[in-house]
Amino acid sequence: MAISLNKGGKLSLSKEAPDLKKVLVGLGWDARATDGADFDLDASAFLLDAGGKVRSDADFIFYNQLKSTCGSVQHTGDNRTGAGEGDDEALMVDLSRVPAEVQKITFTVTIHDADQRKQNFGQVQNAFIRLVNAETNVEVARYDLGEDASTETAMIFGELYRHSGEWRFGAVGQGYAGGLAAMCRQYGINI
Amino acid sequence: MDLQPGQNFSISKLSPAPAAVEIALAWEPTSTPLALDSSAFALTAQGKVRGDEDFIFYNQLSLAGGGIQRAGDGRAFTVSFGQLPAAIEKIVVALTIDQGRRRGQSFGQLNQVRAEVRDAQSKAPLAVFPLATKMMAETALIIGEFYLRNAEWKFRAVGQGFGGGLGPLAQQYGVEVGDDPDADAPPAAPAPSAATPKPAPAPPPATPVAPPSANPVRLEKITLDKRNPSISLEKKGQGFGEIVVNLNWHQDSGGGGAKGFFGRLTGGRKIDLDLGCLFKLRDGRGGAVQALGDTFGNLHQPPYIRLMGDDRSGASAQGEFLHINGQHWNELDRVVLFAMIYEGAPNWAETDAVVTLQAPGQPTLEIRLDSHRSDQRMCALALLENQGGNLKVTKLVEYFQDHRYMDQAYGFGLRWVAGSKD
């Protein structure tokens, strides 16, 4: 039975899912029901060191760089409209292969061309992030972002992080203005 | 606070938290060829209505229990959170253009649509949502939504919509629509539908209305105007049911801090309109039903017409009602509905008055007072005629100094003495 987290909620994976080695991080949202420009949402991951920054641009996993050099994080590709059941985008994380310097993997979703299309997360419905044990296909945890967002164009949905030698998952739900570019700058990506 | 599309704010966290809020709708320019209709959808956690009764619009003015009330002029909704059924977690407020797609209209023809959320009691503005609509191809626009989140009521500005008008909007929320006046093809037989008037040589013949199906929600509304001044409602079996005539008007400036945009009436002064009628029975007897002289009429004996209530303050948000017992329509010959400004300057332009006539199983008829004078107290609104048992409704909107002149104009031949409301 998956654990449902609220904004700010945390979960010890060694306690709740001791067998977990390969995690599928699924992110989803509903496609626009009304007429007009589609929402094109992109999921990305940032591999961060103890200082909360990437070691290099290679630690930014997104639609143009689907796999980290270490191979521990892999993006399964872009879904342009959010149509279809279940996850809209997913990333696979092999926890055992994450380099020791990486303390945290942040999963973000940004709205493509948000400013031009005048779109924001206040207009996106039923956003969620969930963790699935990739080997057993069992859902471990889920965070429904619900209606927390307002005019942000970039959001941290959740994060996997090391704490006292174990992996934890946190439901973040923190939004930013400025889209993917602002998100990248925050983590030390050169764009 | 000005809201952007997508932005939300908490109503419950305000201090003091309003028990009820109203959302007032306005647009620029105020004078537009678009026929704008407002509606509200009361939705469950699944984002759907429980049934058609959760769809509040011009044919259904309030939610059972009183949690949602639509102002008679359609320019505001009042939401009383404590009176909402527990299952209702979201209320979507929308504006649509009547037959917009068919007429090639869209919100792009307006510069701006504007919503103001206020405390229903104090009228203090809580937030304003100005939406630039210049480029919008939509004919149905979701203005915003009140929603329950973690036991807290919030409001979100939306500003998105549909190109296909009220039909797809209603379907989105699970409302069964029986007749979509703006659908691609007119509904299959029985035809012709009165919702698709064809240009006709003057005077245009009254088009018989196709008998409607009983159930799903009827969106059909017919506005009687210059092009289309009359319509004939066909008698079904035992005549008509209870025919409800409503007169509503813009009663004040919206109060609170609202200025300019909402302040259509200077100074927030109230104008009181009285609804009444002159009638003639088939047996030749005639008279008037009106508050003046306390002649409220009777539904069960001649004239089978009754003026409901006696709201002399004009404070009722729903305006004034006059009922006609359609079971006895065959005993009536004709009726002229009129409105009167009893006190104050007869500035009709400021009333923005609308007359609707609803008979069970018939489309809603609407007449707007779209020509104005400021030197006459009486306005003849509509002529109802018994034509072989059918009910022919013709828009009048003609102004008169008093009853006597109006009587002469329509040949009722009544005797008039001065009267008063008391």
The pLDDT score that the predictor gives to residue B85 is 96
Give the domains, in start order, of chain A with CATH numbers: 9-186 (2.60.60.30)
Chain A contact present for B197, CB below 8 A: no
The sign of the torsion formed by the CA atoms of B73, B274, B362, B349 equals negative
Q: Where are the domains of chain B?
A: 8-179, 217-410
Q: Answer whether B154 touches A (CB < 8 Å).
A: yes
Contacts of A122 in chain B (CB under 8 A): 5-8, 156-157
Which residue of B7, B107, B145 to mutate against A (max A Cβ within 10 Å)?
B7
Residue in A closest to B139 by C-alpha: A35
How many Å apart are CA A52 and CA A72, to the nearest integer? 18
Which residues in chain A have their CB less than 8 angstroms from residue B8's CB? 122, 147, 150
Q: Count Cα atoms within 13 angstroms, Cβ side, for A76.
A: 13
For CA atoms B325, B326, B329, B332, give the dihedral sign: positive
Q: Quote the pLDDT of residue B241.
A: 82
CB of B48 within 8 Å of any CB in chain A? no
Q: What is the CATH number of domain B8-179?
A: 2.60.60.30
Scan residues 119-138 of A and list those with Cβ closer than 8 Å to B.
Answer: 119-123
Cβ-based neighbours of B417, under 8 Å, separated by 6 or more: none
Q: Is the ipTM of this complex over 0.95?
A: no
Q: In CATH, what is the architecture of B217-410?
A: Sandwich (2.60)
| B295: contact with A, CB 8 A cutoff | no
B161 with A34: Cβ contact below 8 A: yes
Q: What is the per-residue pLDDT for B368?
A: 87
Among the partner residues A34, A36, A150, nearest to B8 by beta-carbon distance: A150
Q: Which residue has the higher pLDDT, A25 or B194?
A: A25
B327 touches chain A (CB under 8 A): no
- CB-based contact (8 Å) between B297 and chain A? no
pTM of the full predicted structure?
A: 0.66
Across the A:B interface, residue pairs with CB atoms under 8 Å apart total: 47
List all residues of chain A from 36 to 95 with a beta carbon under 8 Å from chain B.
36
* Res B129: pLDDT: 97
pLDDT at residue A1 greater than cutoff 60: yes
pLDDT tens, residue order, chain B (422 aa): 899 999 999 999 998 899 999 999 999 998 888 889 999 999 999 999 999 899 998 878 899 999 999 987 889 999 999 999 999 999 999 999 988 888 889 999 999 999 999 999 999 999 999 999 988 999 999 999 999 988 899 999 999 999 888 888 988 898 877 666 666 544 333 433 444 443 444 444 444 443 333 455 666 678 888 777 888 888 776 678 889 898 888 765 444 333 333 333 334 456 788 999 999 999 989 999 998 888 999 999 999 999 986 554 444 567 788 999 998 999 999 999 999 988 877 888 888 888 989 887 777 888 988 888 888 999 999 999 999 888 999 999 999 998 989 998 988 888 777 666 65
pLDDT computed for residue B339 by the predictor: 94
Contact A122 B163 (CB under 8 A): no
State whether residue A147 sits within 8 Å of chain B by CB. yes
Q: How far apart are the C-alpha atoms of B351 and B248, rounded to whole Å?
A: 9
Say what the pLDDT of residue B293 is: 82
Q: Does the pLDDT value for residue A9 go beyond 90?
A: yes
> Could you tell me which residues come within 8 angstroms of residue B380 by beta carbon, excluding any fewer than 6 positions away?
B336, B337, B338, B396, B397, B398, B399, B400, B406, B409, B410
- Cα(A31)–Cα(A38) distance, rounded to whole angstroms? 7
The percentage of chain A sitting over the pLDDT mark of 90, rounded to a whole number, equals 51
Q: What is the pLDDT of residues A43-99, one digit of tens each?
A: 999 999 999 999 999 999 998 889 999 899 999 876 655 544 578 889 999 999 999
Of the candidates B6, B142, B149, the beta carbon closest to that of A34 is on: B142
Cβ atoms of B336 and B396 within 8 Å: the answer is yes
- Average pLDDT of span A158-179: 93
Domains B8-179 and B217-410 share a fold: yes
Contact of B37 with B96, CB cutoff 8 Å: yes
Rounded Cα–Cα distance for residues B367 and B381 (Å)? 8
Cα–Cα distance measured from residue B25 to residue B262, given in angstroms and rounded to the nearest whole number: 8
pLDDT at B204 (0 to 100): 41
Cα B300 to Cα B88: distance, rounded to the nearest angstrom: 40
